[in-house]
Amino acid sequence: EKLRLNDASLTYEPENSVALGFGFRCGFLGLLHMEIVQERLEREYDLTLVATAPSVEYHVLRRDGEVVAVDNPADLPDAGEVEEITEPWMKISVFTPAEYIGSVMELAVSRRGQFDHMEYLDEKRVLLTYFVPLSEIIVDFYDQLKSRTRGYASLDYTFAEYRGADLVKLDVLVNDEPVDALSLIVHRDQAYAKGSALVRRLKDVIPAQLFPVPIQAALGSRVIARGTVKALRKDVLAKCYGGDVTRKRKLLEKQREGKKRLKRLGRVEIPQEAFMAILSLEET
C-alpha cells in the first residue's frame, strides 16, 4: 500500500496458491516495471519475494453459456466444461532497418504472429505490421527483437481483439505433486515443445535431494515430458573392505528402503529460479 502511493500504475489483489501459500497477484506495465517494483520492495521494505511468470487474461466460454475471465491457469475449468477459450491479440508495429526484415519476420511467425502488411518508409527503414497473441509478447518478445536487430528496431502495440484458439492447460508435477504456480496455458501445437523445455530448465534449477525427484509436464492425465533430478548418493559401502557379499547387499537394501520412505514423506523446496525458468523457455 505504501508503494502504491507513489506508483499509481501498480495494482494488486490477494491470492492463495497451493504451492506458495498466501500472496498477491499484481498488475504491471511490463516486465521492466515488474523488475523495478520487485527491486524496490526488496531494498526499501526488506522483503524476500518469490515472483512467478506473468500471465494474461483469457475469456472462457463454458458449455452452460457462462463466460468467465481467467488470469491464473489454476482457475481454468476442466476441459469437459469448456466450449471455447479466447485470448487477447495485439496489433504490433515494428520499425526496423531493411537488413533485419528476415529476422523480425522469423521472430513474429515463431510467436504465432499473422502478417498484416509491410511498408518501406525510405530506402533503409521498414514498417512491419503483425497480429500477435499478447501471451507471446509479454515474456521476452521485446528482448528477442532487440537482440536480433542489434538494438535498432522499435516496437509499438495496441489491443486488437479476443480470438478463439486451441489452448490447453500445461500442468507441472514435482515429485508427483502438481505445482499450480508453474502451470501454463499454451497452444496445443506448442505444448510438447514448451513442456520439454520447462522440464529441462527445472531439472537444472531444482536442487538434488536424498531421493530421486521426478519432474513431469502433463496435459490432463497424459504426461508429455519427464525428467528426474538424481538423488544424492552416500557411499554406504565405504567401510566394507571385504567380507561376505550378503552384508553389502543388506546395506544397499537398507539404503534403498530409506530412500523410498523419504520419497513418501519428504517435500521438495522449489527455489525462485524455478518459477522464473518460464521466462527463458525460448533460450533452451
Please give the share of the chain, as a percent, with pLDDT higher than 70: 82
Do 55 and 185 form a contact (C-beta atoms < 8 A)?
Answer: yes
190 or 232: whose pLDDT is higher?
190
The answer to whether the 60-165 and 167-284 domains have the same CATH topology is yes
pLDDT reading at 265 higher than 50: no
- Residue predicted with more confidence, 160 or 256: 160
CATH 3.40.50.720 at 60-165, yes or no:
no
pLDDT of residue 142: 85
Q: What is the rounded CA–CA span in Å between residue 104 and residue 170?
A: 28
Q: Which pLDDT does position 183 carry in this prediction? A: 85
Integer Cα distance of 159 and 142 in angstroms: 16
What's the pLDDT score for residue 255?
Answer: 64
Query: Any residues with CB less than 8 A from the CB of 36 and at least 6 apart, and which?
Result: none
CATH of domain 1-51: 3.30.70.870
Overall pTM > 0.85: no
- Average pLDDT for residues 165-183, to the nearest whole number? 85
Distance between CA atoms of residues 179 and 11, nearest Å: 25
Region 159-184: what's the mean pLDDT? 87
What share of the chain has pLDDT > 90, as a percent?
Answer: 21
Angstrom distance (rounded) from CA 183 to CA 121: 42
> How many residues would you count in the chain?
284
Residue spans of the domains in the chain: they are 1-51, 60-165, 167-284
Average pLDDT over all residues of the chain: 82
pLDDT at 284: 44
Q: What is the mean pLDDT of residues 58-77?
A: 87
Distance CA 21, CA 214 (A): 22
> How many Å separate Cα 67 from the centre of its chain?
25
Structurally, at CATH architecture level, domain 167-284 sits in 2-Layer Sandwich (3.30)
Euclidean distance between the first and final Cα of the chain, in Å?
A: 38
Confidence at residue 244, expressed as pLDDT on a 0 to 100 scale? 67
